[in-house]
Amino acid sequence: MHIYRHKSRGGDMHLPVTYLLKNATKFITLDSAFFKVFFSIKDLPYITVLDEQNFFYGILTHSSLLGMLSQSWNVGIGSYVLTVVSSGERGDLVEMSKIITKYTSIASCITLDVQANVLVRRTLFTLPEGVSPETLRKIIANLERKSFKVPEIEDLKAL
C-alpha cells in the first residue's frame, strides 16, 4: 500500500522499499528462515519480501504461506493423517515412528501442543499414498497397544 501510494504521487521508485514503509521492521528477505517468516507475518495480511540489496522483490500473503504448509504436510500425495496423542515423554516420537515405519514410510510429521505446562502432545503423521485400510488398522492397533491414543484419522482422499 505504501509503495502504491508513493508511486501514484510520482515518488522516486529507486528508493529502497524500507524507506517507503511506515513500519520498516516488518519485512522478510529472500533467504529468511521459515520461523522468522511465520512469526513476522502472524499479525499481517501480507509481508514485504526484499532481495539481497534490500529492494522490493514481492509480497508473501497468508494464503501463500498456508499453501507452503500444506505442501510440507504432503496433503496432495498422502493417504491418511493420524493424530496420535502421547504424554510427551522422551522417546515417544521415536517409539511412534518405529511402529508406523514397520508398515510404511512417513510422508510428514508435525508435533503440536509443545508447551511447558501441557501434559499431552498431539503428533500428526501423514502417511504416503498407497496405505491400505488394513495397514492403517494395524498401525493404529500397534500404537494403541503401546498406550498411544489415535483420536483422529483424516482420510486425505475424501477431502
Residue 103 has pLDDT above 90, yes or no: yes
Contacts of 110 by beta carbon, 8 Å cutoff, 6+ apart:
73, 123, 124
pLDDT at site 114: 62
Same domain, 41 and 97: no
Interatomic CA distance for residues 120 and 132, integer angstroms: 29
Same domain, 140 and 105: yes
Same domain, 59 and 93: no
Mean pLDDT, the chain, as a whole number?
86
CATH number of the domain to which 141 belongs: 3.30.70.260
Section 50-77 average pLDDT: 82
105-130 pLDDT per residue, tens: 999 998 887 665 667 889 999 999 99
End-to-end CA distance of the chain, in Å? Answer: 36
CATH number of the domain to which 56 belongs: 3.90.1280.20
Give the domain-ending residue among 45, 69, 93.
Answer: 69
Amino acid at 39: F
Same domain, 122 and 143: yes
Same domain, 79 and 37: no
Same domain, 89 and 38: no
pLDDT at site 120: 84
Give the domain-ending residue among 69, 102, 122.
Answer: 69
Same domain, 128 and 145: yes
Greatest mean pLDDT among 53-57, 71-75, 104-108 lies in: 104-108
Same domain, 81 and 134: yes
92-102 pLDDT per residue, tens: 999 999 999 99
Total number of domains constituting the chain: 2
Same domain, 82 and 144: yes
Give the domain-ending residue among 69, 84, 108.
Answer: 69
Same domain, 33 and 89: no
Same domain, 50 and 7: yes
The DSSP letter of residue 60 is: E
Same domain, 86 and 58: no
Higher confidence at residue 7 or residue 155? 155
pLDDT at site 47: 87
Residue 20 has pLDDT above 90, yes or no: no
Domain that holds residue 110: 75-158
Higher confidence at residue 110 or residue 6? 110
Chain center to CA of 31: 17
Interatomic CA distance for residues 107 and 143, integer angstroms: 18
